[in-house]
Every structure is written in structure tokens, then in C-alpha cells.
Chains A and B, each alone.
Chain A
């Protein structure tokens, strides 16, 4: 495995594997979050959130997830810097071949914006849940065991702060765009693609991207419209 880590392809394999892992996480995250919509009492969501907070497997996965994010981000920065160095002088006439907004051209920018959102998102929820606490969390009802009222924390944000709704919708779309390229590209990088499968993977990537974008944006929009 000599030189593997320093080779351009080696670096990309890390991007691809962590990327696929993060997509897996997001799938879980989205499915749980959709309980916010399907049960206005908040009981289902609170139970799910509680399960996530207490299950030992999830506890093990949490630092791994963080590591996944960190590798994905650091490697992306590293790769981008090296790739920029490969063209010391740019084109005066620019690139007219791919559209300026093509996700494949803008993965680092999309990723950067998602990172900004991620920080905000962590402050919105994770910090309150795990570290500082919040008065809203105390009033969980309708469940046998004692647990945080995460539902209240989320619904409060989305009902009372429309600016956050907008930010969360944008972030959902950004994640979706990022995935329309990231998903099939990850398979391409680890060599699991060919002419036929590339078409299928690209279709899947677009489908997953749309599901994520619609799914994540649906939640703030739902709260905004319903309440």
C-alpha cells in the first residue's frame, strides 16, 4: 500500500468512502426527522431522538461520524489546493463547457456552505441537547420514560424563526446538490462503475439528491405553513 495515501487517487478514495458514509448517516437522519411531520404530538419524534441519544451503538458511532466529517472536510481542502496548483494560469475566456452552477465544478464551495450551516445546526440543537440545555427540553409529555422534549426545541425554532426556515431550506437544497454529484462520483472513484452503471448511478444520485433536498426542506416548510 506504499504511497497510497499521498497519491491523488488515494486521497480521493478517502473522500469517496467518507462521503458515502455521510450519505448513510444523512439517510438515517432524514428518516428520523420525518417523524416531525408525521406526528404533530411530537411523541414519535421524541422517542426516536431519545433512542438515538441513549443507544450504545449510536454512542460509538457518534465520534466516528465526527471523524468522517473531519476527514471529508480536511481532505477536500487538501485536494482542492493541490488541484488549483496544477493550473498556475487560468483562462481569460473561462470555462464555457460546463455550466457555472454545475455541482461537479462547485463541490468545494457547496461543501463549504454546508459546513457553515452545519456549525449553525450544531449550535441550534446539539449544543443545547448535550451541553447547555434549554428550558424547552424539560416538558416532554405522553411518554412513559423520562426524556428530553426535542420536538419542542425543533418546532419552536421552525415556527417562530422564519429566517431559520429559509436557511434550513437552502441547506437542504445545497446538500441535495452536493449529493447529485457526490454519490455517483464516489462509486466512480473506487472503480465501481462502468458505462452502463454510470447511467444508473447518476440517476440514483439525482434521485437521492432530490429526496434529500425535498425531505430536509419539507420539515421547516411544514412547520411554517401548518402553525
Chain B
């Protein structure tokens, strides 16, 4: 029924990847030199892919909108990276990591991809150590591990609370080495604004130079999208201000299917929203839940007093504190997966137990850990996070519990890819958060870094060869071909359109409004009526946007407002698809919670009979409903059960 071919190799799960590697084609070194690859984005996935491809001999052009590849938002990941090393002798294994990821993803990911991820995970740690990543070490000099949510073993490697930074700087250093050697041509402050396809194959991009405003054409034999997720469709998220979905979105419009857009992760431990002018939300690492205890007051009366500021959290005795995660999920306690912890916090706040003035916060308390381990140990483990919290909120988390509330953090959905990470457009690849494949409906903590680097270092460099082997006779792509000229024209027209609306309202206003619609109706709990309403409201917002947008400045100069306008225009369209997908998926799974589908205890209830598939959407026009393709998820190895962390 489907035109989707996921190209999952035959054979037992543990042999699929090695069999596949044995079968796929390899490009000779002499031919690699003749081939060009474009990589969009320089986060963990993009930087590692660009560096690795260049090391293999391909000519790489890498793009990022920031002024340096090191600033991609992978840099902000705090807690750690998972790997099935079993250094702790706690019975971890490739299988257990595979199993945990499938279960954590609420059985909505592709088994073969996840197993491959678990298989290559140990190599990532080795690679990073060789690059000089200063992972935490034990006194004996060996690598240290910590625990993360949703698992029963300790397999997370970390570098203080800055693991993402250190891993990205590792990949960035590899990238720098290739730039210096000439294998990678780096384009910073460049934003991809269109994909160019020739005879159905991805052959290049159109990019805007964000300094001069110049529109440029770049050709290549393959294009790799590593531009991250679309969490900023909510405006307020833990993403960077510039994080955007435009690269993925133009690919969607050029024929790349977009899969599972409704799977967005809401992270339970963020600093609560504060006032109406807030620009972004700050995450407090999940690792804090190793030692912090989450609670809300037991008595409504206490909650009321806390909201009014009459009493403080330390005035509430232990008996009057409701450690609701420990109460509801005794076996995982504070370390339940993110989706579960987030919904539990929302449940408490909706029931009136929220503790900040808006009633949208619960406590994460370190009092008990400090009593048990001493302040010094806690400082060593989380010092930088505590300092960050204090700078933002002006309260000292050593003395008073942190206030936390869930916020949009990561998007599991993304561009549909097959086992080779190729999208439905030949020659177009998507890696890292930009694709959909590994995390199902919910991502486990410390798995994003793992996936980004797995794709970039150890998967794409192999699988891209299978396609490029067929392209060795194709000469250097001529960017004067009509397809390029047409694409450039379309881009210029679009920018002119946005620039010439000359309405009254700056772009941020529309972005905030979109975010509000998304959070209200397509946030932590969704239902049919709300989703229908959201779709309608987003369509209205789109119309308003194209009538009333005001973009100041010049087209041919630095113009952040113009950049944002393009991104928000795409977000508005994406938001609609997001809501449409959420409407279609009338079941609860992972980060997607449909109120119509829950157990009596308020837990998410999957519907495997009707929804054990990947929803891949095909673009049919902005005002036309997209076409849904279903890729059935076949579980050969793992038996589907209702997820339980009790």
C-alpha cells in the first residue's frame, strides 16, 4: 500500500547492520575526490558527518547560520551520552540499550535503526576520547558513568554538565582539521533556503549569505540535512533562538516526506516561564533527577500560600510534601522517562498544587542529597547548573529547592529516512535530530548526543557510499542549470514578498502567537476538538502573517528580522502539519498524549492495532491537505507491551 521502502536488511536483528555493510557499495578513493557533498548544520550530526566524509576523501561544503560551527545548539546538551560499554558491570549490553530505547520510545521507532544505534554506541565513546574530550573519570583514571531516566543501568558518559559542548567541540576540532586541510569548505553565517533537485535527485542548495544578503547557488552530488529539530514551533522552548526547521521544511516541499511531526519531547525540568517577555526557556539537566527529589505540596492550602509568597518551600515539613513521582512510580521513582515526569508535573499543577505565582511549577529538592552526600559532592556534580539557576532566578538552590516545569525540548519526528538515512528524495539525507528514525515517540535522556554522533561518524559515511557509487560518472554539478536559476528566482520572489508586506507587526509577535496556539492545543495533552481548533487558528494566523508582517532593514545587509520572517513562515506551515499529525494519531504514545486514549490511572494508552506505523506526510501544496503514507512498524525482536515504570 505504501511507496515507502525503508530498506531494512534481512536477517536477525544483531546481524542486520553487518550484513548491510557487507552488501552496500563502496566508492573508490580516486572517485571520492570527484564527488561533492553538502552538509547543512554543524551540530553533532553535521560536524561529525562533514569531518568524517572529508576524511574519507569527499569534497564537503558545510553550512551553518551561526558565526562558527561550534555554536550549533548541540553545544547546550548538558547531561551526557549513552553507550553500551558495560564498564560498570551492571549487565548492560547492546541488547539492553536497544531494548531500553525501543521501550522508552514507546514502541514507535524502527527496530533495525535502533539496534544499529546501540551497536555503534561504544565506538562513539572511543572516538571522542581519542579526540581529547575530557570525560569525567574515576580516581583510578577510568571513565565514569551516571544514570539517566528510563533505564536501570548506569551507562551515561559525561563531562560535568557540559557533555554536549565537549562532544561538539570534539567534532568541531575534527571539522577544523578538515577545513585546514581543504577537504571541507566551511560557510558560516549562511542559511539554506531552498533545495535544488534535478531529475528528481538532490543536486544542490540555494543559500543566503546572512552578512551581505547575497543569494548563492551551491551544487553537490548529495545533500545532507543535519539542521536539528523544530521545537521552536512553540516559540518558547529550550532550543536556541535561531534553531529552525526551514532546511527540513524546504526539503519537505521538494518531496521529502515528513514523519511523525507530532512527536515532540517535553522536558520535565526546565526553569518555569517568567513574565510575558521571556524569550526562551532554560533546561536544567535530567541528571539532576539522580540526586534531586521532585515534590509538590500535599495540601492545597500550602500551595495557595506558596503561590502568594506567604510561605516558602522550606516552611513545609516532609510529611506535607508529596513526592508524587516516588509515590506513583516506586521502581523508577524520580528517574522515570521524560514524558512520564512531564505529564505528572502537569497533572499536579492542573490539580492546583503548582507553587509559583502562575501556579505552573513544582519543586526539585536537593536538601536530601546534601544531607546524605554533603554540599561539596553536590557542588562537584552540578555546580555549574546550580550557578546557572541562581543567575536566572536569583534564588540559591543549595538553600531552596529549584522550581521546575516542563518545556518543549526535542522533536523525535522529522524528515522521513530509510535505513540508509536517505529521505524520499534520492541523494538527500537527513541525520541527527532532523530525521525521525531512532527515538520513536519519546527520546531517552542522553540519547540525542548518541544518535547525532552515530549518524555522523559511523552510519552516514558508510551508507552514503551506496548512493554515491552510482554517481561517479556525474561531473561537477553546474549551478547555471535552469533548475538552479529557477530555484534562485523563487527564493528571491519569496524574500521580496516577505519584505514588501510592510504591515504593522514585527515577526516575533506572530511567532509568539503560534507558540501559544501550539502550547494550548498541541502541547502536553491533546484532544480532537482542540486540534481542529489549532489547525483553524494556525491557518488564520498564516493569513494575518502575510497581510500584517513588518520586516525592517534592507534585503542586502545583515537582517535578523528577515531571517526570522522566513523561519516563522515555515514554522506556521509546520505547526499546521504538526497538529494534523496529532489529530490523525488517535492514541497516546510517548510524548504524544491524546486525552481520548488514556488508562483509568491517567497513563498513556497506546493503540498498537491501529497506530503501529510511522506517519510520513507528503507535501501537496500549502493550501492542500498533505498525503499520509504509512510505514508499518514490524517488531521482530521485541514484544510490544504497555509501557510501565511502576
Check A-B contact in the complex, CB < 8 A.
no
Instruction: List A residues at the B interface (Cβ < 8 Å).
Output: none
